[in-house]
Amino acid sequence: MKVIIKKTGQIKDVADGHATNYLLPNGLAIPATETAIEDFKKKQLAVSELRAENESELKALAESLSGKTIKTSASANADGTLFGSVSESAILKLMVEAGYPVHESWISTSQPIKHTGNHPVTITLPNGKSVEVILVVEAK
């Protein structure tokens, strides 16, 4: 029996029993009829167009973020040590307020931000590109 493997999009010829008893009931494959093949190819084309569009959006976001400086203020003592720290969720809030559509999972810091001053923040986009932004923490 010919089936379309959903995960890879490949058309495979598998044993009838394997397809009927395992692949089809578990949603891992669909029967490879002419209409199913056409529909699957259309869906794959739409997905590839969407990926290309997302890739260009991520590239534009990386270019706009590159070298940017984000400022915040936090309570600190005379030595510049913060009463707490600046978390990744706080950085996310600052980025969103500045108009950058980023996700918290993209944000990483080399060490916890517990002092005033300039701190590098790495934004790793889903396409694998990393951009460094400077976070300036000032005392209130």
Q: State how beta strands 69-74 and 130-139 pair.
A: parallel
- Summarize the confidence of residues 110-127 as an average pLDDT: 92
Please give the single-letter amino acid code of residue 60: A
Nearest-10 Cα torsion for 86, 87, 90, 96? 120
Instruction: Tell whether the model's pLDDT for residue 133 goes beyond 90.
Output: yes
- Residue bearing the bigger pLDDT, 54 or 76: 76
pLDDT grade, residue 74 (50/70/90)? very high
Return mean pLDDT, the chain.
91
87/102 Cα distance (integer angstroms)? 15
Q: 106 phi and psi, to 5 degrees?
A: -80, -20
80/139 Cα distance (integer angstroms)? 7
Nearest-10 Cα torsion for 109, 110, 114, 119? -70
Model's pTM, two decimal places? 0.63
pLDDT grade, residue 77 (50/70/90)? very high
Eight-state DSSP code of residue 98: T
* Domains, the chain, with CATH or none: 2-62 (3.40.5.10), 66-139 (3.10.430.100)
Give the least confident one: 44-48, 85-89, 95-99.
44-48
pLDDT grade, residue 21 (50/70/90)? very high
pLDDT grade, residue 128 (50/70/90)? confident
